[in-house]
Structures are given as structure tokens and as C-alpha cells.
Structure 1
Amino acid sequence: MAKNIKILIVDDHQLIIEGILTALKNIDGLTTETCNNCDEAFSKIKTAVHDVPFDILFTDLSFDNVTENSTLDGGESLIKAIRNLNIDIKVGIITGHTETNRIFNVVQNLEPITYLLKDKCNTEELQFAISKMMKNEMYYSHEVHQKLLKRALVEIQMDEVAIQILKELPKHPKISNLEGVIKKDDGSLLKIRSIENKLAKLRTDLQANNNTHLVLKAIELGIID
């Protein structure tokens, strides 16, 4: 890495910060600073703009040390605050959040250039991610990338009938009770055989063992609440 790169690491657990610093210590050309809350991080980033700006922010998403006096309650709030001020900093996430729907929403709404997982991240991946970030190229860890692909595929496969079935399924103890409830696009009601066939396809598409598992998968993927 030719130029000196200034990085801010934000996490509420000191052990995590120490682990990231250890992973970065053998990478030449890095200057690192740390914070354990988002308010302090935001202040540092704003102050640095007028001196030596940070090139990269690595932040977690959830913070356990948020109080009633905190202005920013987590990494997502921090990123939004930075974006609202149009601060030029490359945003990366290092987190333990692996829920498909959480990843999907964060990527869709905040567009971080990097998304890494704490338990999988090492020096090699961090160095690779930083090099990509400095070229304005996205890098998501393999597991994150796979989850995003799966979520996108599921979204393509979902139609209004499938979503109706998934929403109604937890409300009815018997599948037969869904007859007379699920409507086609033309307003006509779906017969039980068609509902059962649709459920079988959904279980296959979402790799669910049974209907209860299917609902849990749909919730995890953010298809239903």
C-alpha cells in the first residue's frame, strides 16, 4: 500500500478492538485509531476532516454500551450521520451479525463498501479488504456474499400467492384451513391441492424440513415479519 491509510475502528468490546489491531499490526502504511462508542467516533471523524481525514471506518452494527444520553445508538446510525454530512470516508462493517435479513437490509440501505464477519476475519482478509476499499471496490466476505445471493434468488422466486401462504401459515393449525383464504391475482380462491403444491415448492426453494421450519426460514430471510 503506497500511501499512508488512516483507519478508525469502532467497537464496544475492547477484546474485539485488540484483535483487529493485532490483525492489522503487520500491514505497512496504516495509522489506526479506536473508539468504543459511536458518538465519540462521529466526533473524531468530523474533527479529522479539518486536519488529516480518516480514509476508512470499520464499525460494528450493535453496541451494548448505548445509554439514554447517547445520540447515536449503533453502527447504522453512525453511518447515516456520516452520510448526512457528506463526509468522504470509506465505510466497512466488521460484525457478528450473520442474519440474512439484517445483512440484506444493511447492504441495501447503507451500501457499505465492505462487510466482514468477526469470527472469520484475519490479517489476510483485512489486508485484501483494505486494498479493495482504497480502489473504491466492494468486498464482502464469502458467507455474506452467499447470503446476499440467496436472499436475491428467494426474492425473485416469491410471488404474491407465496407471500400470502407464508403469512397465513402460522395462523392456522391445519393446512386445510387455508382453503378459502389464499387468493390468486384474479381474485379467485386457491384450492387446497394448489396450496399444498405451493407449500411443497416453497419448502424446496427455502430448504425447509417442514412447514414450521419454512416459516422460520421466511422470517430469517425477511420475506415475512
Structure 2
Amino acid sequence: MSKKTKILFVDDHQLIIEGILSYLRDIDGLDITSTNSCDEALSLVKAHAKTDPYHILFTDLSFDNGSDNMNIDGGESLIKAIQKENLPIKIGVITGHSETNRVYNVVHNLNPLAYILKGQCNTNELNFAIQKMLADQVYYTHEIHEKLLKRAMVEIQMDDVAIQILKELPKHTKISNMEGVIMKGNNAVKIRAIESKLAKLRTDLNANNNTDLVLKAKELGILD
């Protein structure tokens, strides 16, 4: 059995693969395999699982080279497939996706041990992430960590009334039309209370106006 750390890297862009591999090759003790197919990645993980397993899989999230012949159309589906089959491999994401909602959903639903941004990674960061992952510890790029922290802080500040207001806001041309729609328990929230809550939400989310507020809420994953 290999004494090296076996890594499988999955990305559909060959130039990205070569760039990441150039960083990984500068790290001692790695045995690296790459593929641009999620289907092939799953097959490789399964084929090696009992004899000489991969220790770490790094995958992008979005794949543009899909076809009707492919069963797995992206990194999220690949992670789900690996987790469904309980394959013993540590999973990390290396991607260009930094949208707060996307990041939150991937981390919250799939629990990757690492989330690294392509445009910012280098040999030192990848080496640090790999060591963390091998120790079953989480590593997120600083920007990702900050986004998740902000999302968590905003979520703490949200209550049922705030969520209702944010969901209803795009549906009404006037704030006054929301009176009787927003409820707290069995009681309708008065217009003055709605306006007060809106003002606080704009401050909390650093929004310039109500339209900007809705956009910020969507960016943070509070709204779909």
C-alpha cells in the first residue's frame, strides 16, 4: 500500500487542472491523480476503495462538459454520490464559486472538510488544507470563512417577522400594503412596526434601500 497521500483532483477545465497540479506537485509526499469527469472520479474512488484508497478528493462545483451520457453532472452531485455509498475519502472543494448562498448550502448540506477559492489558492494554502483534512479538521479560505460567519450572524438576528417582511417586500409597491399580511402569532403587525423592522434590517444588512435589502438577503441565502 502506498505510503504517500493519494489525492484525486476533479475539474473540467484542463488549464485549471494544470494550475492546481503545479501547486500540488510542490508538496512532498503526494500521489496525485486528476480527471475532468465526475463519473470517472466516482469510479476511481470506488475501484481503489478496498486496495489502495484515495485519501482526499478535491472537486470543483460546476462542470460545463456534461452530456447525456453522464450520470453525475457536477461536484455537488459527486459529493452526494460518494457520501451515499459511504466511501472512505475526505472531501474538499476547490472552486471559483464564492456566492454566500452557494457557499452556505454546500457547507451546510455537504459538509466538505475544505472550501478553497481557485483564484486565491497557492502551494502553502493547499498544503495547510491537506494537513488539516488528514487530521479530520476543517479548513476554509479566509473569504469563505468570513462569508459563513456573516451569514451566521445575520441568521441569528432574523426572527419570523423579519423573514416574512423580506419575503413579502418584493410583492408590494407600497409598504402600507403589507399591513395585515405580516403576522406575529395570531396578530397582524402594524405598519409602524413593519417600517421599524425594515429600518433595522437595512442597517443590519448594510442595505441602501429596500430593493438593495432584498438583493442582500438573497446573496446571504436568507431568501431563495
- Range of TM-score over shorter length: over 0.9
What SS class does the counterpart of residue 53 from structure 1 fall into?
coil
2:30 is the counterpart of 1:39: no
Structure 1 residues 158-197: Cα deviation after superposition (integer angstroms, max 9, x where no partner): 1111011111110111112212221122x22222211111
1:131-210 pair list within 5 angstroms: 131-185=131-185, 187-210=186-209
Give runs of ≥4 in structure 1 deviating > 4 Å: none
Matching residue of 1:122: 122
- Output the CA distance in 2 between the equivalents of 1:218 and 1:179: 21
Structure 2 gap ranges (5+): none
Give the AA of the match of 2:199. A
- Output the CA distance in 2 between the equivalents of 1:150 and 1:79: 25
1:12-161 pair list within 5 angstroms: 12-161=12-161
TM-score by length of 2: 0.96
Tell me whether 81-90 or 4-13 shows the greater mean CA deviation: 81-90
Matching residue of 1:220: 219
Give the AA of the match of 1:188. N
1:51 Cα offset (Å): 2.8
Alignment root-mean-square deviation, CA: 1.0
Structure 1 residues 105-145: Cα deviation after superposition (integer angstroms, max 9, x where no partner): 11111111111011111111001001111111110111111
What SS class does the counterpart of residue 31 from structure 2 fall into?
strand
Structure 1 gap ranges (5+): none
1:50 Cα offset (Å): 3.3
- Output the CA distance in 2 between the equivalents of 1:64 and 1:120: 22
- Output the CA distance in 2 between the equivalents of 1:180 and 1:82: 48
Percent of pairs with identical residues: 67
Q: How many residues align?
A: 222
1:4 Cα offset (Å): 1.1
